[in-house]
Structure 1
Amino acid sequence: MIRLVHRLGGVALLAMLFATPASATATLACVGVDDHQVHVTLTLGSVPVLAVVNATIETPSGTYAMLPGDGHTEIIVGQAFGTPDGLSVDFADPNVQDILVTLRTLQAYRDRQAAHVGILAIGDRDVYAVTCES
């Protein structure tokens, strides 16, 4: 019995290691320029490419989040791309049938601080200018 528990523990540990896409190392927090009810929070991973580990987007028309829960629309990362000049993320529904949220940012660096500006689009109905901090 102890051998079985030990073996299952090892399998569970391996599953956790391979199921974890990236460890979180940075947060990008954005707020609407003209509408302060607009908030975007992205948790980014530590892999060589842009890895969005978690996201929450709040707008007057609804809340979108990657974690399951009540009161919001569930989203997944459809695609994400980062460059030294900014990032682009498209969030889709869990079935990847529609792009629900799009975030595009431009960034500039001075010393060790970055300034981000961008556009947040909710489907084809709402567009917001955002400023972000990382």
Structure 2
Amino acid sequence: MMFTFPIRVYYSDTDCGGIVYHGRYLDFAEHARTEMLREIAKSQDLDGSQTSLIERMHLAFVVKSIAVDYQIPALLDDLLEVRTEIESAKRFSITFRQTVIRSEQTLCVLLVRVASVNTETHRPMPMPDWFVPAFDTYAHQ
């Protein structure tokens, strides 16, 4: 049950010593979750864009909380992989475990709790029934 997303470290991601800024890991995780959502939505015959989910379902996923464990720094030009797994799923939220890897070495682990909200009311709404099963199906391919 894992979605993997490759990402390259660019100069703009680093300080003058070539070490990735701590905040960029949040961006790497966000990019991975966005692409994961795109793939899962496509598997449900949705076009995969967040715009489509907002327009058709009045659905948006918002970050509720993040815990980050930095272990080893990523460096300029590294090819990284962000591995995303569902840690837990509830009616209104999902917690993802996202691990940033370089050559099978763990650099950073993020626990990201994402809530499902209605874009018209800005209130919590139940997670779509199709999301977790679609993630499980996609991750096993």
TM-score (structure 2 length as normaliser):
0.30
Greater radius of gyration (CA):
1
Q: Which one has a larger percent helix, Structure 1 or Structure 2?
A: 2
Q: Which has the higher contact order (CA 8 A, sep 6+)?
A: 2
